[in-house]
Amino acid sequence: MTSIDVRDLTKEYGTRRAVDDLTFTVPPGRVTGFLGPNGAGKSTTMRLVLGLDRPTSGSARLGGRPYASLPQPLRTVGALLDADAALGSRTGRDHLRVLAATHRIPDRRVDEVLEETGLTPAARRRVRTYSLGMRQRLGIAAALLGDPEVLMLDEPSNGLDPEGIVWIRGLLRRLADEGRAVLVSSHLMNETASFADHLVVLGRGRLLADTPMREFIDARVRPAVRVRTSDSDALENALARHGHQAVHHPEGHWTVPDARVDDIGRLASAEGVPLLELTADEGTLEQAYLDLTAADTEFTARPQEA
Ligand SMILES: Nc1ncnc2c1ncn2[C@@H]1O[C@H](COP(=O)(O)OP(=O)(O)OP(=O)(O)O)[C@@H](O)[C@H]1O
């Protein structure tokens, strides 16, 4: 199976280093989320992998080969970089047929990917009449056309309706389960958390993290337990007796840092504290991501003056 291999990759535009000595691998069989603040270098990296730009130094390879030397590129890698890549005057179907013909892909794939992306009813309409979400689906259809072993999608959820977001989640999962290498950039943390197995995070062109998603969160966000009770004094006293410093929130609930649900549940039961809610507060990808990238965000908004 084919992976994406980025080695010591650097790209400079004039004096600006868009990608700075980047090394990572996107292996088959999992969805890798590609994260980073605006301008971190995600799109530039994808363009370098696709041979749309030349690296200043280093390499980006697909199954060991640079894109330019792939015998049948669309059969190796399918990419969505820009939802507006299709000519507005063509129908969605014709756009895909031209692409199939120029890459020696059988015509039947056109109907298959139209079906897969839910575009069959709109296939004979001109692309200029498509909504953003439909153009996005057409871009995904084009990426799938060659039945490629590697998928690289830049913000695929952009413009999709809720049903489309659920669909893309399932699609990404299936593509990885079929053994393909899938790299997906996104700014939507909840979305990424719902489909990614692994994360590659950039900041100002440099690699900030390359880790399984759960490890990424657990290393940065302390686990806590969220509790609600009808007897705050009893809860606070019981927790304090067992060495826990709980934090009370104005909404009425408490959080117990560095604690496990089982322990707090047993403790409350033993001490006779009535509980209305007891849940694990595991930390979100958004919390972990903001913690990591805080220092690396070029365009951070200044806090508002009171
Ligand atoms: N063709 C170009 N010429 C000059 N500078 C460029 C060019 N393409 C990208 N850059 C610069 O390279 C840096 C990385 O941009 P890139 O688009 O790769 O970031 P990104 O992580 O994809 O950002 P976003 O999340 O906003 O899409 C930015 O500073 C950008 O201005």
pLDDT digit string (tens) for 19-53? Answer: 999 999 999 999 999 999 999 999 999 999 999 99
Topology (CATH) of 222-282: Alpha-Beta Plaits (3.30.70)
Judged against a pLDDT cut of 50, whether residue 161 lies above it is answered with yes
pLDDT digit string (tens) for 136-147? Answer: 999 999 999 999
- Whole-number Å distance, alpha carbon 129 to ligand 1 midpoint, is 29
What is the end-to-end Cα distance of the chain in Å, rounded?
Answer: 56
Which of 138, 145, 137, 22 lies closest to 77 in space, CA to CA?
145
Q: Is 40 in the pocket of ligand 1 (CB under 6 A)?
A: yes
- Alpha-carbon distance of 4 to 57, in angstroms, equals 17
Give me 209's structure tokens. Answer: 């993290």
Judged against a pLDDT cut of 80, whether residue 269 lies above it is answered with yes
Q: Is 44 in the pocket of ligand 1 (CB under 6 A)?
A: yes
- Find the mean pLDDT for residues 146-153: 96
Q: Is 43 in the pocket of ligand 1 (CB under 6 A)?
A: yes
Q: Is 139 in the pocket of ligand 1 (CB under 6 A)?
A: no
- Alpha-carbon distance of 255 to 55, in angstroms, equals 49
Q: Give me the residue spans of the domains in the chain.
A: 4-218, 222-282
* Beta-carbon contacts of residue 9 (< 8 Å; ≥ 6 apart): 19, 21, 22, 23, 45, 48, 55, 57, 58, 59, 60
Q: Of ligand 1's atoms, which has the minimum distance to the CA of residue 36?
A: 21
Topology (CATH) of 4-218: Rossmann fold (3.40.50)
What is the ipTM for the molecules in this complex?
Answer: 0.96
Give me 108's structure tokens. Answer: 């039947």
pLDDT digit string (tens) for 276-306? Answer: 999 988 788 998 898 888 766 655 555 554 4
User: What integer pLDDT is reported at residue 294 of this predicted model?
Assistant: 79
- Find the mean pLDDT for residues 55-81: 94
Q: Is 36 in the pocket of ligand 1 (CB under 6 A)?
A: yes
User: What integer pLDDT is reported at residue 139 of this predicted model?
Assistant: 94
Backbone dihedral region for residue 149 (phi beyond 0: left; psi -120 to 50: alpha; all else: beta): alpha
Average pLDDT of the chain is: 91
